Amino acid sequence: MNTTRTLDRADSPSDIAGIAAAILLGFSLLFVAGISHAAILHDAAHDQRHAIAFPCH
């Protein structure tokens, strides 16, 4: 547990991978909540898409 502390300052590959994973997951969730045309997602997200001003319909 304690040995991982020093990694934070270095340009470690795991840092880059973590940043990339967060960006990828962020865009994936954004697609689900705001963009997907799948009927079930559109219907579930309908009010929220209007409220948050994603283009809907």
Partner 1 sequence: MTRRIFACAVYAGLAAGVAFALLSFAFVIPPLLEGELYEGGERVHFGAGGSPESEAGAPSLGGDIRRHGLTAALSVVSFTAFGLLMSAAFAIASRRGARIDARTGLAWGAAGFFAVQLAPAAGLPPELPGTVAAEIGARQIWWGMTVVLSLAGVALIGFGSGLAAVAGGVALLLIPHLVGAPHLDRYFGVAPPELAAHFATRSMAVSAAGWAVLGAVAGHFWSRADASERTPRAA
Q: Tokens in use for 10?
A: 């270095």
The CB-of-1 to partner 1 minimum distance in angstroms stands at: 9
CA distance linking residue 24 with residue 38, whole number of Å: 20
The binding track of 1-40 with respect to partner 1, each residue x by CB under 8 A or -, is: -x--x-xx--xx-xx-xxx-xxx-xxxxxx-xxxx-x---
Q: Alpha carbon of 44 to those of 16, 22, 24, 50, 54: distances in Å? A: 34, 24, 23, 12, 14
The CB-of-39 to partner 1 minimum distance in angstroms stands at: 13
Which residues would be at the binding site for partner 1 (CB under 8 A)? Answer: 2, 5, 7-8, 11-12, 14-15, 17-19, 21-23, 25-30, 32-35, 37, 44-57
